[in-house]
Every structure is written in structure tokens, then in C-alpha cells.
Chains A and B, each alone.
With several copies, the nearest count.
Chain A
Amino acid sequence: MTARVGVVTFPGSLDDRDAARAVRRAGGEPVALWHADGDLHGVDAVVLPGGFSYGDYLRCGAIARFAPVMGSVISAAGDGLPVLGICNGFQILCESHLLPGALTRNRHLHFRNRDQRLRVETTATAWTGGFAERALITVPVKNGEGCYVADSATLQRLEADRRIVARYVEGNPNGSLHDIAGIANDRGNVVGLMPHPEHAVDPLTGPSEDGLAFFASVLRHLVGTPA
């Protein structure tokens, strides 16, 4: 049976349909989850998609973190449920303290949408197992607050534990420390990514198909893990 991957829609989520399309293209079954519903409907993994939850006026992800669905996501993540936060989803994961550090205003103060070169730094997560070691990929970035910051102790730990999932190469689009584009929790089931793999699943509408492997990876991971 195909894995069921939940895609959460918060008020202001924008890339939820694109994330669902990516799951489908990778061979999974997308399941729509609603912010106000604490029930995860037995999904095997969860994607927190990009967008501007609640407008992101105060601080990106600050309000979404309190949505009923997040309570369930946080506890399920503790039990090893694979969770991928993309852009706004990454911000929500940091605000929820599922991931360390914070995403702050881009150094140049502009929203920036460009096709970005990345290096996948670890295949030891639920969402990157399908990549070749140190794979170079092209995936769009589009954010105004994508500059990753954390204190030096945290950064050292992320480096030492190989929890930096992807790094910007050929130019850092927002000033992120250590060129960080994505990180994982220590268990590797929770991953936050600033770039948008769901926008790189079809050459007709994106710069590449490189993003597909994130979604294919979690499906492979799920097959490997007994239900």
C-alpha cells in the first residue's frame, strides 16, 4: 500500500497544493490536514508547506505554532513521525522548538525568488535518504525571512552531528549562517528546508526535477520502517 503523507493547510498556507502534487508525483498518497483539526488521520508522514500562515505579520510561523494540528505534529514527531517543514513550515518548526535556531529577515532586506544551487549534506534523514552523497541540486528559494541564525554552540552541534541537511552553494541568497539551507533534528525524522523542493518536480513548471527525491526519500524510508 502506498504511504499516506499529510499536507497541513494553515490559514495563509500557499504551497499546500504544490506539496500534495509533489507527493503524488513521487508515488505517495497526499492527505489534506486542516490546521484546526488535531487529528492526523493516521498519516505516515507530514509536510508543513510554504506560505504566509496568518499573514506572518508578527514573526513567521509564530501564530501557526499554536494551531491544534501542531500539538499532534509535535508529539508524533517525538515518536519518530517524519516531518518536513518547507520555508514557512521550517519557520513553524523552529518556532515550535522541534528544530533549533531561528529564521530572520534576509540580510539584503528583500524577498528573493531565484533558482538556487544546493548541496545535500547528509543522506541520514528520513527526507534525504534517496540522494547521492553530497549531491548538487537546483531548487527554487523564495523567502523574505530565510536567514538562519543560531548561537555558536548550536551551530557547532549541528555541524558536528551532521544535522545540516542542505547548504547554499554558488551564492548565499539570504545571509544564512554557515550557508544553511536546511537542518534536521538529532533523530533525522524532522527536517526544515528554506528552499522549495515541491517547485522542482517538473521541468515544465520548475528549474529541475531535483526536488522529487526529498519526497521519494520519505516514501522509501517508510517502506523500510515497520508500521
Chain B
Amino acid sequence: MARVVVEIMLKPEILDPAGQAVSRALPSMGVEGVTSVRIGKRVVIDFDGAPDLDRAREIADRLLANPVIEDFTVQVQ
């Protein structure tokens, strides 16, 4: 059993309304000093064989992330 984690975030130039909504809500919770909040995805993939980075990268590139708006990283865990 091997685990690969894919982290997907919107490209910096793409607006993240969900992240903005969170940062706007923070002051009302008494939380100050937050300059930015960005919300992305964390995908945990379990393989039954050896951890297959290339395959994970392929899954991320073709399915999990949309390269037009998102960047991603792939790590074995």
C-alpha cells in the first residue's frame, strides 16, 4: 500500500472568492493581521502496489487539476 498526495491550488492570478470570503469573515471573529487566504484541494490517493509518482502526476494533470486555472504538486507519503 502506498500513498500519494496531490495538492492543487488556483493559480495566483485567478481570483479565489471562497478564500476572500473567509478573510472577510475573520475580523468579525476577532482575528486580525491576516493578509490572504487561499483555498485549494488536497487529494490523497492510495495505490495497492508501489507508489507510482508518474501515474499520480498523470492523474493530476489530466483529471484532478485544470492546468488552465490550477497548479499542483505531487508527493509520496
Contact = CB atoms under 8 A, between A and B. Distances in A.
Whether the complex brings A and B within 8 Å at their CB atoms is answered yes
Of listed B15, B17, B39, B69, residue having the most chain A CB within 10 A: B17
A149 B18 contact: no
Contact of A149 (B14, B21, B28): B14
Contact of A102 (B21, B29, B69): B69
Contacts of A227: none
15 contacts: A57-B39, A58-B18, A58-B63, A58-B64, A59-B66, A63-B21, A63-B63, A66-B28, A100-B68, A104-B14, A105-B18, A107-B17, A109-B21, A150-B68, A175-B15
Interface of A: 54-55, 57-59, 62-63, 66-67, 94-95, 100-102, 104-109, 149-151, 175
Contact of B21 (A54, A104, A151): A54
Q: Is the interface of A mostly helix, strand, loop or mixed?
A: loop
B25 interface: yes
A151 B67 CA distance: 12
Tell me the dominant secondary structure on chain B's binding face.
Answer: helix
A149 B64 CA distance: 18
B22 interface: yes
Contacts of A57: 17-18, 21-22, 39
Contacts of A67: 28
A67 B24 CA distance: 12
Given A101-B68, A104-B69, A149-B69, A55 B17 contact: yes
Contacts of B64: 58
Given A109-B17, A149-B14, A58 B39 contact: yes
Contacts of A94: 68
Interface in B9-28: 13-15, 17-18, 21-22, 25, 28
Contacts of B13: 151
A109 B39 CA distance: 13
Interface in B29-44: 29, 39
B63 A102 contact: no
Contacts of B14: 104, 149
Contacts of B28: 66-67
Contacts of B25: 54, 63, 66
Nearest to B30: A66
Nearest to B41: A58
Contacts of B17: 55, 57, 105-109, 175
A59 B21 CA distance: 11
A106 B17 CA distance: 8
Contacts of B21: 54-55, 57-58, 63, 109
B5 to A, nearest CB: 16
Nearest to A150: B68
A63 B28 CA distance: 10
A63 B68 CA distance: 16
